[in-house]
Amino acid sequence: MEIYDKIKVYADFFNHEIIKFLSKIEPGILREASLHLIKSGGKRLRPFILSKIAEYYGVDIKDSIPAAIAVELIHNFSLIHDDIMDNDQFRHGVKTVHVEYGIPYAILAGDTLFSLAFNSLLNLRRKFPERIVRKAVQELAETTYKLSVGQGYDMFLPSTNFFNYKLYYKTIINKTASLYEASCVIGAVLGKASSKDIKNIRMFARNSGLAFQIYDDILGVFGDEKLTGKPVGNDIREGKRTLIVIYAIKKSNSQLKEKILKVLGNKNASEEEIREVIDYLKKINSYDYALKKAIYYNEKAKKYAEKLPKDLAKFLFEFSDFLVKRRF
Amino acid sequence: MEIYDKIKVYADFFNHEIIKFLSKIEPGILREASLHLIKSGGKRLRPFILSKIAEYYGVDIKDSIPAAIAVELIHNFSLIHDDIMDNDQFRHGVKTVHVEYGIPYAILAGDTLFSLAFNSLLNLRRKFPERIVRKAVQELAETTYKLSVGQGYDMFLPSTNFFNYKLYYKTIINKTASLYEASCVIGAVLGKASSKDIKNIRMFARNSGLAFQIYDDILGVFGDEKLTGKPVGNDIREGKRTLIVIYAIKKSNSQLKEKILKVLGNKNASEEEIREVIDYLKKINSYDYALKKAIYYNEKAKKYAEKLPKDLAKFLFEFSDFLVKRRF
């Protein structure tokens, strides 16, 4: 079975479990708001990778369900709150939760999923020893803090004059890579993997997550509107401090730099101005630079995977390639 | 030392620890937003009761700090988010976080405190066995879900025709009593109290919390503006389904019922209309009814406290009386 087909089979399975777990939420309107985004779709990649890694270490998929649900709920909590903060109107082709239910219920739906993630995770205690449960909880708790830090920088940086590679990597390590990393690590923790294996799995996931996000950033600037579902140059209009923009600012003379800064984060910039900046970015090789970095981190991820048991390594190779290529 | 003086001493101690713990938050603007409400004051009643109960079971106050910080952070997270949802402009005499920093940073500040609460709680592992840590985490996780349910009903009920004692108690058991209950229970869990003691402490706290909230509701309708800091009849204007209003609706004939419903939740109601409803509520003994209930639950709380070790029972008597009387 191709990895994409495997993912689909698992997604159906997890959807059933997640919806069952959330059916207890009350009052009803809060339950509906909490389920809105989940029911709109999604590949459940975090539950998938968590359960698959646990499986490679001998854990029955049924036993990893509480953890798989937990990482997906945290993912959805952060999407719901991020959509309010970023004032996004659509996701997965449906209205965002705050557009459909209003900001108060959207905030509360996010909080509900956040708390239920930890409640779900604690259900691991029925099958796993206290220390394993605590380690999983700790991994998830540390990650939820990282998500806040990442979103904090993502919101803060566009209002500054900082164009800094280090802050870029800090943002995406926290905002994107961390929950993917936690999903992989929790899978390994449930499987009682050695601390050496856990470290390699962590570094695999972090680098694979970086590669994924850099590809995503490339799409956000150069991507086809029909494929990304977002207006061309969306990240330019929002003033995002992506690798592409940082590289361009560093490589341009002061005149060209000023030209970029005039458009970057300018909500009133015309289509033509945006298009002009994108053409310029391509011309000075921002695209090539970012693509090279994405490939670099994907290869780096694989180097860590190589140190793991052969079957697991093979699977992680496949998964990382799938992750970074799936939207091209 | 009087209990009020004890609380003040502990509050200074906890403030120091909380601010130290939060000083690592980045970026800076997120740290400031997260600290805004905490720095505006507060009695730190939840850390106080948690650490005091743990102390009665022989736990050094230093060892309970991670848990004391955790319950206070959850309290502040819920205040910040509730203030956005309820559109409140002031708290503790200062602007609410979303008024001062905008809704995006306020949502994120709440999320940050939520996540750091669990991170703090996990620091217990340095001094306590895995099972105790897991029990504390579980108690807090269950409570964060209850807070969502309580806030859900609090938001939902004013938009309905429900006047129902059961839903009132459900709302306040979840929204107010649960975190107080969790604070007391976690204190006992750290002290390795017997499951019988833990059960009595839980029931003490739940009933004491109910008494506190019913008193608070009385103040929200009949309270002196100068003491409560909120406009007279604020809860009437907001349409809150308090015990006072439920009793009145059940006791009134259809004509008087209609009169109340015309004003309840009506943001445009005049001062005079509000005043008229308040006078009527007093006349039909809503005030007396609610006061009787508050006294009943405070006494019920004490009945559970009586089953505990004598010194602890005496302290809990004092604390519960302080709680319900402090704002009169």
Instruction: Check residue B37 and give its pLDDT.
Output: 97
- Residue among B27, B111, B125 whose CB faces A153 most closely: B27
Burial tier of A227 (Cβ tally within 10 Å: 0-12, 13-18, 19+): exposed
The stretch B140-153 carries a mean pLDDT of 98
- pLDDT under 70: residue ranges of chain A: 227-229, 326-328
Question: Given CB atoms, is B141 within the 8 Å cutoff of chain A?
Answer: yes
Structure tokens at B51: 């650490």
Question: Given CB atoms, is B29 within the 8 Å cutoff of chain A?
Answer: yes
CA distance A13 to chain B (A): 25
Interface of B with A in 45-84 (CB under 8 A): 81, 84
Identify all chain A residues contacting B130, using CB atoms and an 8 Å cutoff. Answer: 129-131, 133-134
Question: Given CB atoms, is A323 within the 8 Å cutoff of chain B?
Answer: no
CA quadruple B80, B82, B83, B87: dihedral, nearest 10: 150
Burial tier of A63 (Cβ tally within 10 Å: 0-12, 13-18, 19+): middle
Residue B104 has pLDDT above 80, yes or no: yes
CA distance A323 to chain B (A): 27
DSSP helix/strand/coil, B238: coil
Q: Map B7-48 to HEC letters.
A: HHHHHHHHHHHHHHHHCCCCCHHHHHHHHHHHHCCCCCHHHH
Measure the N-to-C terminal CA separation of chain A; round to a whole number of Å. Answer: 21
Which residue in B34, B148, B154, B174 has the most chain A C-beta atoms within 10 A of its own C-beta, making it the best mutation to test that interface? B148
Between the alpha carbon of residue B139 and those of residues A31, A209, B135, B192, B238, the distances in Å are 22, 33, 6, 14, 32
Give A207-227 pLDDT, tens digit per residue: 999 999 999 999 888 887 776
Instruction: Check residue B14 and give its pLDDT.
Output: 97
- Residue among B29, B110, B130 whose CB faces A130 most closely: B130
Contact B112 A145 (CB under 8 A): yes
Instruction: Check residue B293 and give its pLDDT.
Output: 97
- Residue among A125, A130, A141 whose CB faces B118 most closely: A141
Q: What are phi and psi of B241, to 5 degrees?
A: -90, 70
DSSP helix/strand/coil, B242: coil
Q: Confidence band (pLDDT; 50, 70, 90) for B326?
A: low
Pairing state between β B90-91 and B94-95: antiparallel
Which residue in B124, B145, B168, B189 has the most chain A C-beta atoms within 10 A of its own C-beta, making it the best mutation to test that interface? B145
Contacts of B305 (CB under 8 A, 6+ apart): B200, B204, B312, B313, B316, B317, B320
Contact B148 A119 (CB under 8 A): no
Bigger pLDDT: B93 vs B157: B157
Listed residue (A258, A256, A218) closest to A240, CA to CA: A218
Evaluate whether B217 touches B242 at the Cβ level (below 8 Å).
Answer: yes
Identify any residues that bridge with B94 across adjacent strands, giving them in sequence order.
B91
- Residue among B107, B119, B130 whose CB faces A107 most closely: B107
Give B53-100 pLDDT, tens digit per residue: 999 999 999 999 999 999 999 999 999 999 999 999 999 889 999 999
Give B24-43 pLDDT, tens digit per residue: 999 999 999 999 999 999 99
Structure tokens at B277: 């409803």
Contact A134 B122 (CB under 8 A): yes
Instruction: Check residue B328 and give its pLDDT.
Output: 41
CA distance B28 to chain A (A): 9
Which residue intervals of chain A are DSSP H helices? 3-22, 28-39, 45-56, 61-85, 97-101, 103-122, 130-156, 165-172, 178-190, 195-222, 225-228, 234-237, 243-251, 254-263, 271-283, 286-305, 310-325
What is the rounded CA–CA span in Å between residue B36 and residue B275? 35
The stretch B303-319 carries a mean pLDDT of 97
Listed residue (A201, A50, A241) closest to A140, CA to CA: A50
Residue B280 has pLDDT above 60, yes or no: yes
Instruction: Check residue B93 and give its pLDDT.
Output: 87
Question: Given CB atoms, is B134 within the 8 Å cutoff of chain A?
Answer: yes
Q: DSSP letter at B90? A: E
* The total number of residues written for chain A in this structure: 328
Q: DSSP letter at B174? A: I
The stretch B159-172 carries a mean pLDDT of 96
Identify all chain A residues contacting B134, using CB atoms and an 8 Å cutoff. Answer: 122, 125, 130, 133-134, 137
Question: Given CB atoms, is B9 within the 8 Å cutoff of chain A?
Answer: no
For residue A219, the Cα-to-chain-centroid distance in whole angstroms is 15
- Residue among B26, B134, B152 whose CB faces A149 most closely: B26
List of domains in chain B: 1-141 (1.10.600.10), 194-327 (1.10.600.10)
- Percent of chain B predicted with pLDDT > 90: 90
Residue type, A124: L
Complex ipTM > 0.90: yes
The stretch B250-274 carries a mean pLDDT of 93
Contact A111 B148 (CB under 8 A): yes
Residue whose token pair is 């604690």: A122
Instruction: Check residue A328 and give its pLDDT.
Output: 41
Contact A145 B116 (CB under 8 A): yes
Handedness of CA A121, A123, A129, A131 (dihedral sign): positive
Listed residue (B260, B99, B243) closest to B157, CA to CA: B243
Q: Confidence band (pLDDT; 50, 70, 90) for B327?
A: low
Instruction: Check residue B218 and give its pLDDT.
Output: 92
What is the rounded CA–CA span in Å between residue A187 and residue A50? 4
CA distance B127 to chain A (A): 14
Residue type, A111: D
Identify all chain B residues contacting A142, using CB atoms and an 8 Å cutoff. Answer: 119
- Residue among A84, A144, A149 whose CB faces B107 most closely: A84
Identify all chain B residues contacting A103, using CB atoms and an 8 Å cutoff. Answer: 84-85, 103
Instruction: Check residue B267 and give its pLDDT.
Output: 87
Instruction: Check residue A234 and give its pLDDT.
Output: 82
Residue B131 has pLDDT above 60, yes or no: yes
